[in-house]
Amino acid sequence: MAGSESFNAADDFVNLLETSWSLSHPISIKKTYDAKSVGLGDERIDTILIHPKTEIVNYFGLYASDYLHEIDIQVVIRTYEGYEHHNAVISEFQRILKNNVRRENYVDLLLRMSVADSEPLKNMFRHTYAVRYRKLNP
């Protein structure tokens, strides 16, 4: 079960994407626990779903006085306009990750997995990422 630091990391990740997004077309960035619904959603707006998955706490230092949080976040990107459009959205997402591997509020931001899983879908393109935050003594 994800802890409170996982939810803080998800909020930070949403903020990072919202403030760094530079493509001209609109995109909806949602945390899955805020966007629980039935159905496929709006097929006119591209969507990025952020879901905190696990939080590992590693203690180190003398008497375990320091600790490192490793927070895994699943990111699902859904688009509806065609392959070229989907590729532009994926490229923008990857650009943001590369530019923000290090920041002042965490140790690093790692891309752990990337899966293009659009093949079984008829009118939707989907790409899933596993991202890991590492934070010291949050």
Q: What is the pLDDT of residues 84-106, one digit of tens each?
A: 999 999 999 999 999 999 988 78
CATH number of the 4-136 domain: 3.30.2000.10
Q: What is the pLDDT of residues 25-80, one digit of tens each?
A: 889 999 987 766 555 555 678 999 999 999 998 888 888 888 889 999 999 999 98
Burial of 83 (0-12, 13-18, 19+ CB in 10 A): exposed
More confident residue, 104 or 19: 19
**pTM score:** 0.85
- List the domain boundaries for the chain: 4-136
Distance CA 43, CA 46 (A): 7
User: Strands, E, within the chain: which ranges?
Assistant: 27-31, 46-60, 66-79, 108-116, 125-136
* pLDDT classification of 1: cutoffs 50, 70, 90: very low
The alpha-helical segments, DSSP class H, found in 21-136 are: 83-99
pLDDT in the model for residue 3: 65
